[in-house]
Every structure is written in structure tokens, then in C-alpha cells.
């Protein structure tokens, strides 16, 4: 069946992974003392370790807000290219009693052992490896060139982000990512204490919904480093928008693969860095 965004949702079948629904409350309240000496109850975001086991093999511990743990785990496996197809996953069981996410594949972990042999797991924030491997994967990426984004739609997207209910507004200390349709409507919005967790959770949700990135816009509050650019390209999304700036390598990779990157997008201002052929500004 096709949903409102024209996507084919994965139908519930024996090939859809069984998932827990173990999202946790996003914030807690603690007391802090302000500059006037007053005690201020202050909401802060949750942060919890979640250790990922793939067919009982420990892979990584993610520090997460915990709002969408199953999607996070799926997106992590997808973006790290540890599992190639959603159909290969039989179940994702998140258990906060043991802070664990147990992923069971249909065919065992022979492939995983081979993949892990070749590299160290990557990470967010520029500390990890897998860089060479990720760069190689870019040769397989072909972003569609027919999509267009105009300045008015960008303004709509930014306004939608601004009006989005968010943990950030309530508690700060999180990064947010949004997946938007070509008209700027927000389809998914995920926040996490790590900006890489947020984008991985979006990738996981897209996988579950069998959603194509080709006609989408990816928005993030975070900086556009090389890994963020690579992940957006891996999801097949041609448009990337951020409130923040981008780095030299983010810029170089985006230019190489023809990704349309718009940074410093706040209110009426923005900077179009790369992929200008997909952007239109009728007001100039």
C-alpha cells in the first residue's frame, strides 16, 4: 500500500522484523541553582547506554536518549553496513533492564564476522574508523538530479522545524534531525544526545517504512562533518540542510557526489554551498 508520501510501506509479513517498543521518557527533572541563588527545577535529556548484540556478538555501546531505540539500532546496522537488507533481520529486542538491544538475523552472523574483521566500527564525532570503507561506499551512491528545492520551500521547512515540538526546547543538550518531503513537510523528527544517533534513527525508520530518499530533504541541527554528509548520501537523499556550518571534508565530499548542501539556515538567511543545480531562488 502507498501512504500519503507515495512510499510503499513494508507490509507486515514474516519478513518484517519483530520489534519491541521500548522508547523511554525523554527528559528528567533535576534541581539547579541559578545566578540569583534560586533553586530551579531543570529538565535535562535522558542518556542511557544501550549495548548492541548482533546474533549474540557484542558490537557497540550507544549512548542514547532512548526515545526510539529499535529504529536507532536498525539505522546503526544499516549505516555501518553491517546488515545489507532489512529482510535479513528477524528481531530487535530492546531491554532496559540489561541496557541491551539483541538483534537476531535470519542467516546467522557469518557475514558480520567477515565485515568486522575488515575494520573497526566507526562512531560519531570524528573518532572512529571505517572511514576508508565509508568513502569506498560513496562510489555506489548516485543521487537523483531531477529534484528541485526552491527558496520558498526551504523557508517552509525551516518554519516547520521552528514550530516542531522538541526536547531541545524543553531541555537542550540534544541534536535533532528531520526527514522532510519535497514540499517541506516534516515526515520524521528524531532527537538524541548524539547527532549520529539521531541520523541513524532516521535511517532505521526509513528502512522500516521502505522509504526512498530520492525525493526527500534531510535537516539537522548539527554541523555537517564528513560522516554526516556520507550518511545522507548513503540514504540516497539529495538535499541536506543545517542550522550549522560545514567542514572542509564535508564540503569536498558533497561537491564530489553532487549533494545539495545548505548551511547556516536560520530564519531568512542561508548559505548554499554545493549542488546548486538543484536549488532555485526566484526572488533574485
Task: Please report, as residue ranges, which positions from 151 to 170 form the binding site for a copy of itself (by CB under 8 A).
Answer: 151
User: Which phi and psi angles does 223 have, rounded to 5°?
Assistant: -70, 150
Chain length of the chain: 284
The answer to whether residue 63 forms part of the interface with a copy of itself (CB under 8 A) is yes
Q: Which stretch binds a copy of itself (CB under 8 A): 9-17, 81-89, 204-212, 244-252?
A: 244-252
Identify which of residues 16 and 160 has a Cβ nearer to a copy of itself in the complex: 160
Task: Please report, as residue ranges, which positions from 78 to 117 form the binding site for a copy of itself (by CB under 8 A).
Answer: none
Which member of 8, 28, 108, 145 binds a copy of itself (CB under 8 A)? 28
- Cβ 219 vs Cβ 161: under 8 Å: yes
The answer to whether residue 142 forms part of the interface with a copy of itself (CB under 8 A) is no
Long-range contacts of 159-167 (CB under 8 A, 24+ apart): 160/184, 160/185, 160/186, 161/186, 161/219, 164/189, 166/191, 167/26, 167/27, 167/45, 167/65, 167/67, 167/191
Task: Please report, as residue ranges, which positions from 223 to 242 form the binding site for a copy of itself (by CB under 8 A).
Answer: 223-227
Identify which of residues 32 and 110 has a Cβ nearer to a copy of itself in the complex: 32
The answer to whether residue 184 forms part of the interface with a copy of itself (CB under 8 A) is no
Short-list 164, 170, 206, 185, CA closest to 75: 206
Identify which of residues 84 and 266 has a Cβ nearer to a copy of itself in the complex: 266
Which member of 176, 184, 238, 263 binds a copy of itself (CB under 8 A)? 263
- C-alpha span between 101 and 190 (Å, rounded): 19
Identify which of residues 78 and 211 has a Cβ nearer to a copy of itself in the complex: 78
- C-alpha span between 241 and 232 (Å, rounded): 10
Q: Which stretch binds a copy of itself (CB under 8 A): 46-54, 90-98, 102-110, 212-220?
A: 46-54
Amino acid at each position: 500500500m502507498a501512504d500519503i508520501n507515495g512510499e510503499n510501506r513494508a507490509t507486515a509479513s514474516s519478513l518484517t522484523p519483530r520489534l519491541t517498543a521500548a522508547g523511554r521518557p525523554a527528559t528528567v527533572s533535576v534541581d539547579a541553582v541559578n545566578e540569583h541563588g534560586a533553586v530551579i527545577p531543570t529538565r535535562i535529556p535522558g542518556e542511557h547506554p544501550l549495548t548492541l548484540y548482533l546474533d549474540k556478538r557484542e558490537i557497540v555501546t550507544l549512548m542514547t536518549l532512548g526515545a526510539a531505540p529499535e529504529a536507532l539500532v536498525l539505522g546503526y546496522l544499516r549505516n555501518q553496513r553491517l546488515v545489507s537488507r532489512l529482510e535479513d533481520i528477524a528481531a530487535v529486542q530492546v531491554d532496559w533492564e540489561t541496557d541491551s538491544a539483541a538483534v537476531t538475523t535470519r542467516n546467522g552472523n557469518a557475514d558480520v564476522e567477515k565485515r568486522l574483521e575488515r575494520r573497526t566500527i566507526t562512531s560519531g564525532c570524528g573518532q572512529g574508523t571505517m572511514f576508508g570503507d565509508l568513502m569506498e561506499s560513496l562510489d555506489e551512491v548516485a543521487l537523483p538530479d531531477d529534484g528541485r528545492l526552491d527558496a520558498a520551500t526551504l523557508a517552509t521547512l525551516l518554519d516547520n522545524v521552528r514550530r516542531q515540538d522538541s526536547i531541545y526546547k524543553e531541555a537542550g543538550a540534544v541534536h535533532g534531525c528531520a526527514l522532510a518531503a519535497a514540499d517541506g513537510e516534516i515526515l520524521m523528527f528524531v532527537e538524541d544526545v548524539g547527532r549520529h544517533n539521531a541520523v541513524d534513527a532516521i535511517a532505521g525508520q526509513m528502512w522500516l517504512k521502505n522509504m526512498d530518499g530520492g525525493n526527500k530533504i534531510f535537516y539537522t541541527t548539527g554541523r555537517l562533518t564528513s560522516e554526516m554528509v556520507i550518511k545522507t548520501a548513503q540514504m540516497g537523499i539529495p538535499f541536506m540542510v543545517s542550522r550549522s556550518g560545514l567542514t572542509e571534508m564535508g564540503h569536498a565530499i558533497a561537491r564530489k557526489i553532487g549533494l545539495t548542501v545548505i548551511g547556516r539556515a536560520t530564519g531568512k538567511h542561508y548559505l548554499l554551498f554545493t549542488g546548486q543545480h538543484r536549488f532555485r531562488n526566484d526572488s533574485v
